[in-house]
Amino acid sequence: MDRGQKFRTHVHDYHQLAWASSGVLMVDVEDHYWVLPPTLALWIPAGVWHASAALQRSTMEGIYLDPARCSLAWEQPTVVAVSPLAAQLIGYLAGDLDQQARVNAEAVLLQVLEPVDKATIELPLPTDSRARGVSAILLANPSDQRGLEVLARQVGASPRTLLRLFVAETGLTFTQWRVHARLQAAMAYLAAGEPVARVADRVGYATSSAFVAAFRRVTGHTPAAYFAAATVGYRDAPTRTDSAA
C-alpha cells in the first residue's frame, strides 16, 4: 500500500488479523482509530465494519479466520503484540496450505496472540459537531499551539462545554486527546526514520525530551523501542500482500 492508500469501510464474515509487516497502518472502527507499527496487529471480529489506511508505504498482511473454528472469544477489536513466532505464522498462513496444515497453524497462532493495553495509540473522535470541529482542526495541524479558549471561539462553544464533550464522547480529557493526536501524527515520520527532534517539532513539541516523555507516558516505550524489530526473521517467511481487504 502506498502512503495514504485506503481500503474504504467494509465488513467480513471472518475474523481478521490486520497487520503490516512493514510501514504503519491506521485502522478505523466507528471513528475509533488505532495506529499500528509492525510490532502490533489488530484483531477485528467478524461482522465489525472497519477501514484501513497506510500512513506510509506499507505491506499489509490479512489473515482471515473462520469463527466456527476459532478458540478466541474476543468480541471487540483487540490490539495484540506480534512476536517473531506470530510473524512467521502469519507468513506461513498466507501461503498455499492444505486444510489440516492451515488448521494446525491457526491453532498455534491463536495461542501466541497476546493482547496489549498501553502500547497502542488510540484516537476516538467525538461526535458532537463542535468538538468534532476542534478535532478536525488539530488533526489537520497537530502543531497548532492555540489554547482551548481560542479553539472554542472558533467552533462556537465554551471551553467548559468542550471539556465535557471530549471526556463524555472520547473517554479522554481534551489535553489527553490532543497528546494522542500529536503522537498519532508522529508515527509516520518516526517509521520513516526521521530524527526524533524533527518529529517533535512537526507535531508541536518544543523539545525532543518533552515529546519522548509524552510518547513513553502513552505507550510505555520510547519511540526507538516502540519501533524495535519484533519481526526478526520474518522476511524469510512466505508473504502475500492483502489486496482483498
Structure confidence at residue 133 as a pLDDT band (50, 70, 90)? very high
Structure confidence at residue 26 as a pLDDT band (50, 70, 90)? confident
Taking the C-alpha atoms of residue 122 and residue 23, their distance in angstroms, rounded to an integer, is 18
Of all residues in the chain, what percent carry a pLDDT higher than 70?
Answer: 91
Which domain-ending residue is among 119, 143, 159?
A: 119
Taking the C-alpha atoms of residue 190 and residue 164, their distance in angstroms, rounded to an integer, is 32
> Of the ranges 97-106, 128-137, 179-188, 226-235, which one carries the lowest mean pLDDT score?
226-235
Residue 168: CATH number of its domain:
1.10.10.60
Q: Concatenate the DSSP letters of all residues of 103-115 into one string.
A: HHHHHHHHHH-EE
Asked if residue 1 belongs to a domain, the reply is no
- The grid coordinates listed for 38 are 509492525
Residue 164: domain span? 125-219
Asked if residue 232 belongs to a domain, the reply is no
**Backbone torsions φ then ψ of 221, nearest 5 degrees:** -140, 160
For 81, 90, 234, the CA distances from 238, given in Å and listed in that order, are 20, 9, 8
pTM of this structure: 0.71
Judged against a pLDDT cut of 90, whether residue 116 lies above it is answered with: no
Taking the C-alpha atoms of residue 235 and residue 237, their distance in angstroms, rounded to an integer, is 5
For 26, 53, 130, 227, the CA distances from 23, given in Å and listed in that order, are 10, 11, 33, 10
Res 176: pLDDT = 94
Q: What is the pLDDT of residues 192-212, one digit of tens each?
A: 788 999 999 999 999 999 999
- The grid coordinates listed for 217 are 507516558
